[in-house]
Amino acid sequence: MGVVRDVFIGLSENKTLNDASKQMGLRFGAKKVVGGTGIEDTLECISSINDQGMSVTFDNLGEFISDKNEATKEKNNILKMIERVQEEGLTAYPSVKLSQIGLHIDEEFCYNNIKEILTVAKKTNMFVNLDMENFVSKAPTLVILDRLLQEFDNVGTVIQAYYYDAKKDVRKYKDLQVRLVKGAYKEPSTLAYQNKADIDQSFFEIIKSHLLEGNGFTSIATHDHNIIEKTIRFAESENISTDQYEFQMLYGFRKDYQEELVERGYNMCVYVPFGTDWYAYFMRRLAERPQNLNLVVKSVTTN
Ligand code: FAD
């Protein structure tokens, strides 16, 4: 399993393949997990998800951003998407990776970019989530978040359960809208739990803590039915209303379960990545769960 994972991670980091795939359109089953390559086709995808009673958070795919021109281009694309979502009156908000808009190029430049995004979103009270990347990005992302919170109330972030200090972060941001996740990056044992049982336990602890201790809306982002059903039972036992939390899943994953949760009366938000830079995102999903290879097989056999 580790070898397969490493192969797909290796493929996701290959710049030549990333560049080539931008010219191709969505291939190898990527259509099932990427909302669209452009703004207008992605809006159609968002609209059909909204029609099924689910909200959306959209993620502008962009890899290998290494200079200010590229970062500005990505920021402008995010702004354009926000404006079109506002014009169409869709229920959707952006999830932004700060590395894409200059976090590792110039922090002040990045701060100004995200400020501009928040200002445009705020016109319709649209929320903006700061996605959390690897450990190197965590501290500077939180510094920027804390600065933004002095001026904006439409911003939140992600807390990754695999860190030993996740509970401390949850307490600090207890009144904020946050997305709780297990954590997607490879971090050392000096910083983060390594095995699934420990990560799952930490995840459920922070879910309980955020639901109970603060006033912030809780987004629980996972495909793990055990965690989801445990959360539902916990919320019921504590009389926590369903409008205080939602579940989030990636576009194209466990669609039947997404629909079932909506039918049962729970809020569901679908994370929709979009853009021509789909290749690395798609390879990472294959690395995470090699069973997703059936998306590739199906697309090859039906095309
Ligand atoms: P896993 O531990 O991968 O799976 C647990 C169990 O759930 C599996 O054993 C299986 O039984 C079941 N299962 C899982 N997937 C499927 C499937 N496709 N079909 C059927 N059964 C399945 N990470 C970050 O570090 N930063 C972020 O900003 C971030 N944002 C995210 C946003 C969203 C909306 C989501 C869903 C995830 C995000 N993640 C983020 C990724 C997250 O940290 C995990 O790496 C990822 O969700 C995989 O863990 P899991 O909780 O889904 O469960």
What is the identity of the amino acid at 250?
A: L
95 belongs to a structural domain:
yes
Beta bridge partners of 59: 273
225 belongs to a structural domain:
no
Q: Give the model's confidence band at 299: pLDDT under 50 very low, under 70 low, under 90 confident, else very high.
A: low
What's residue 284's pLDDT? 78
Q: Could you tell me the end-to-end alpha-carbon distance of the chain, in angstroms, rounded to an integer?
A: 28
d(CA 81, CA 121): 10
* Residue 177: pLDDT over 50: yes
Q: Does residue 179 contact residue 221 with C-beta atoms inside 8 Å? A: yes
Q: Give the model's confidence band at 31: pLDDT under 50 very low, under 70 low, under 90 confident, else very high.
A: confident
Q: Is 179 a catalytic residue?
A: yes
Q: Is 277 a catalytic residue?
A: no
Q: Does residue 202 contact residue 210 with C-beta atoms inside 8 Å? A: no
Looking from the CA of residue 249, the nearest atom of ligand 1 is: 36
3-state SS assignment for residue 179: strand
Q: Give the model's confidence band at 303: pLDDT under 50 very low, under 70 low, under 90 confident, else very high.
A: very low
Query: Can you give the CATH number for the domain in which 165 is found?
Result: 3.20.20.220
195 belongs to a structural domain:
yes
**Ligand 1 in contact with 181 (CB < 6 A)?**
yes
231 belongs to a structural domain:
no
**Ligand 1 in contact with 222 (CB < 6 A)?**
yes
Q: How many CB atoms lie within 10 A of CB 198?
A: 14
What is this structure's pTM? Answer: 0.94
**Ligand 1 in contact with 170 (CB < 6 A)?**
no
Q: Does residue 240 contact residue 1 with C-beta atoms inside 8 Å? A: no
d(CA 149, CA 172): 13
223 belongs to a structural domain:
no
3-state SS assignment for residue 217: coil
Catalytic option among 27, 153, 171, 179: 179
Q: Which of 129, 50, 57 is nearest to 88 (CA)?
A: 50
pLDDT in tens, 105-148: 999 999 999 999 999 999 999 999 999 999 999 999 999 999 99
Please tell me the total count of domains within the chain: 1
Could you list the residue range(s) of the whole structural domain that residue 159 is in?
Answer: 35-171+187-199+268-274
Q: Which of 119, 109, 3, 11 is nearest to 63 (CA)?
A: 11
Looking from the CA of residue 161, the nearest atom of ligand 1 is: 43
161 belongs to a structural domain:
yes
92 belongs to a structural domain:
yes
Q: Does residue 253 contact residue 54 with C-beta atoms inside 8 Å? A: no
Average confidence (pLDDT) over 273-284: 84
11 belongs to a structural domain:
no
**Ligand 1 in contact with 200 (CB < 6 A)?**
no
Gap from CA of 223 to ligand 1 centroid (Å): 5
* Residue 249: pLDDT over 60: yes
Q: Give the model's confidence band at 288: pLDDT under 50 very low, under 70 low, under 90 confident, else very high.
A: confident
